[in-house]
């Protein structure tokens, strides 16, 4: 007995707002998967879409005890009017368009089939029986059904990821009494160099990592966003889709986990047509990125919500557009980020780090030296950048520094937002800007009144223009130090890329130079930007003593992780030595030694997984 399974995930070939008739004479794009979820039988009858046939690349074959070939939409309650009954739609194969008389329903949907197969096992068998497709490179987390450079790929998970998806699907069904219709994965990231300069307009050098946020998703017939987390310390949450904005408002010491998710939903609802917005979303979240570690767990959660909401809304947006929406959406939580975390989440590639540039957003893959390995280590000091003013103060200080320099160099300062703006207006290099900063800004902290006087404006107008509304009149600002870090760090990013791609340099010398750039970066972050932490500084020293060629904090700082560079032949020895040092000093509650130090390599960016 054979059965054909049709994955219930939709990717339209058009951007929202574009007419479907555009380029009518052009060759139609390949539509790999057909969405029949939340469609009435009459709607399906009138779809007239291609793909309901045995040759469709997304169809899988399995044995069936009734001896009939069928197409199955693998989403419980695929139609809104059947959702409560937990039944599964089936359509006989062989016809281009399903007929009403071909529609059947199964009432005996079970978590495990007659052979006792789990959800993930069925997925693996489906993948094995499918038509051959091009495989992803290492760390790709699956084989590709649909992947272009422009859009987030639709993948079939590999064996390693299947185990996690099975656990997540179990949790999803235990909460919602139905199976998810698709999954999204968004990775964390480690920034190798270029800290605190993305919001100043300068290029950064991150790579996506293996640790990620996974979300299982289904649409509901209601209007609620319902969230659950595999980790029981994160409580379930539910709110009406219309109240998403109100639920984001923070009244506690720090944002609750679900608010990051809601930020992503809100970001999408603001850019897609209202009529295409999903009625309700059921989501189960599972992440293994250490929170408050500097590895972008919060941005990954926001970005995953953006991706799943767009997918559920039957739109197909470019990676660049998704990254832009995600960056803007995270601002709803109260942080003024620059877009690096979201960009690498969507643009990341297995096997290469990325040079991320802004305005316009652009990601360029950079192959790292073959003998280099980057190791992440956690300081056991946590910091939530959205729960304090530290992060936003640095953003404001950089803006104020740019505005004062522009004013002193007789440029219109009111429109200056970032340090790169004043550099471009002056037509100087970053090295020359270091000299400008030294000349135009003084060492002592500036008061708000002094800055207003320099700019010939009032305190109130300055607060409105320069992101200062959350700061008191007594706040002081270290403008020279922050600007010096930014311009020097921007130069280090350029040098890091040049060294990585240098063909005429011996590997040993190349790694030595990369290590020095990383160590210089940390010194600048500690002394000029003042965003390090004693535990982070101590860990950097320990890493160097254990053999690292260079090490620096990664992420926003004030705690979290460091990243160290080591030669491949010494990585095991280095990891063991650093773990011994951490064990000797004591492991804090809530941490496990085996999770505190681990090597990493460039990983695949965001992906959608079908079932």
- The two tokens of residue 499 are 């060294």
Select from 276, 243, 278 the least CA-distant residue to 262. Answer: 243
Give the integer Cα–Cα distance in Å for 467 and 455: 15
How many residues would you count in the chain?
611
Give the integer Cα–Cα distance in Å for 219 and 182: 10
How many alpha carbons fall within 13 Å on the CB side of residue 339?
A: 25
Q: How far is CA 252 from the centre of its chain?
A: 25
Give the integer Cα–Cα distance in Å for 595 and 391: 26
Select from 234, 119, 237 the least CA-distant residue to 609. Answer: 119
CA Rg value for the chain:
26
Beta bridge partners of 59: 6
Strand pairing category for 154-157 and 607-610: parallel
Tell me if residue 279 falls in helix, strand or coil.
Answer: coil
Q: Is 537 a catalytic residue?
A: no
Q: What is the DSSP letter of 29?
A: P
Contact between 218 and 181 (Cβ < 8 Å): yes
Contact between 192 and 483 (Cβ < 8 Å): no
Report CA torsion sign: 105, 110, 115, 117.
positive
What values do phi and psi take at 176, rounded to 5?
Answer: -115, -5
Choice among 341, 473, 576, 595 that is catalytic: 341
210: Cβ contacts below 8 Å, ≥ 6 apart: 139, 187, 600, 603
H/E/C letters for each residue in 357-423? Answer: ECCCCEEEEECCCCCEEEEEEECCCCCCCCCCCHHHHHHHHHHHHHHHHHHHCCCCCCCCCCHHHHH
- The two tokens of residue 110 are 């079970």
Give the integer Cα–Cα distance in Å for 240 and 400: 40
Q: What is the DSSP letter of 69?
A: -
H/E/C letters for each residue in 502-534? Answer: CCCCCHHHHHHHHHHHHHHHHHHHHHCCCCCCH
Tell me the C-alpha to C-alpha distance, in Å, between residue 520 and each of 162, 308, 539, 597.
41, 39, 15, 22
Tell me the C-alpha to C-alpha distance, in Å, between residue 77 and each of 61, 117, 346, 447.
22, 21, 31, 61
Residues assigned a catalytic role = 341
């Amino acid at each position: 007995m054979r059965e054909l399974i049709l994955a219930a995930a939709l990717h339209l070939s058009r951007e929202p707002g574009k007419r479907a008739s555009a380029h009518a004479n052009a060759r139609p794009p390949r539509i790999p998967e057909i969405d029949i979820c939340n469609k009435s039988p009459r709607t399906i009858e009138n779809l007239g879409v291609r793909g309901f046939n045995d040759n469709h690349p997304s169809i899988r074959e399995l044995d069936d005890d009734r001896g009939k070939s069928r197409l199955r939409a693998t989403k419980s309650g695929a139609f809104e009017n059947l959702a409560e009954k937990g039944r599964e739609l089936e359509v006989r194969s062989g016809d281009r368009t399903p007929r009403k008389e071909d529609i059947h329903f199964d009432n005996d949907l079970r978590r495990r089939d007659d052979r006792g197969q789990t959800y993930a096992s069925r997925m693996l068998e489906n993948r094995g029986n499918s038509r051959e497709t091009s495989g992803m490179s290492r760390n790709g987390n699956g084989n590709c059904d649909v992947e272009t450079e422009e859009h987030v790929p639709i993948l079939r998970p590999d064996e390693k990821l299947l185990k996690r998806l099975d656990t997540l699907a179990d949790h999803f069904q235990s909460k919602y009494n139905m199976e998810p219709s698709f999954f999204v994965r968004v990775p964390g990231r480690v920034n190798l160099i270029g800290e605190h300069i993305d919001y100043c307009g300068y290029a950064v050098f991150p790579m996506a990592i293996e640790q990620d946020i996974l979300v299982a998703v289904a649409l509901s017939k209601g209007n609620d966003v319902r969230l659950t987390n595999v980790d029981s310390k994160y409580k379930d949450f539910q709110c009406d889709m219309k109240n998403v904005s109100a639920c984001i408002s923070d009244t506690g010491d720090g944002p609750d986990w679900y608010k990051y998710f809601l930020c992503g939903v809100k970001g999408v609802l603001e850019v897609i047509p209202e009529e295409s917005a999903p009625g309700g979303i059921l989501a189960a979240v599972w992440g293994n990125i250490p929170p408050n570690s500097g590895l972008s767990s919060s941005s990954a959660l926001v970005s995953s919500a953006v991706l799943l909401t767009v997918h559920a809304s039957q739109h197909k947006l470019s990676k660049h557009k998704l990254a832009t929406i995600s960056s803007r959406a995270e601002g709803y939580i109260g942080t003024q980020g620059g877009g690096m975390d979201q960009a690498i989440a969507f643009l990341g590639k297995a096997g290469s780090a990325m040079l991320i540039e802004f305005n316009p957003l652009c990601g360029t893959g950079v192959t790292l030296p073959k003998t280099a390995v980057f190791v992440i280590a956690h300081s056991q000091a946590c910091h939530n950048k959205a729960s304090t003013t530290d992060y936003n103060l640095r953003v404001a200080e950089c803006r104020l520094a740019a505005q004062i320099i522009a004013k002193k160099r007789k440029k219109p300062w009111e429109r200056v937002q970032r340090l790169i703006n004043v550099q471009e207006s002056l037509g100087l290099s970053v090295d020359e800007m270091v000299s400008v900063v030294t000349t135009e800004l003084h060492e002592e902290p500036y008061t708000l009144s002094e800055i207003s006087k320099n700019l010939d404006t009032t305190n109130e107008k300055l607060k409105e223009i320069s992101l200062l509304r959350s700061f008191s009149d007594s706040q002081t600002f270290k403008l020279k130090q922050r600007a010096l870090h930014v311009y020097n760090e921007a130069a280090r990013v350029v040098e890091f890329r040049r060294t990585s791609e240098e063909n005429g340099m011996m590997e040993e010398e190349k790694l030595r130079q990369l290590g020095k750039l990383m160590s210089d970066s940390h010194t600048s972050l500690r002394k000029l930007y003042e965003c390090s932490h004693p535990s982070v500084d101590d860990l950097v020293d320990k890493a160097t003593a254990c053999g690292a060629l260079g090490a620096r904090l990664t992420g926003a700082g004030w705690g979290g992780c460091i990243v160290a560079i080591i030669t491949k032949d010494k990585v095991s020895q280095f990891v063991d030595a650093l773990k011994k040092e951490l064990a000797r000093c004591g492991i804090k509650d809530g941490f496990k030694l085996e999770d505190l130090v681990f090597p990493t390599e460039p990983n695949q960016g965001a992906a959608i997984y079908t079932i």
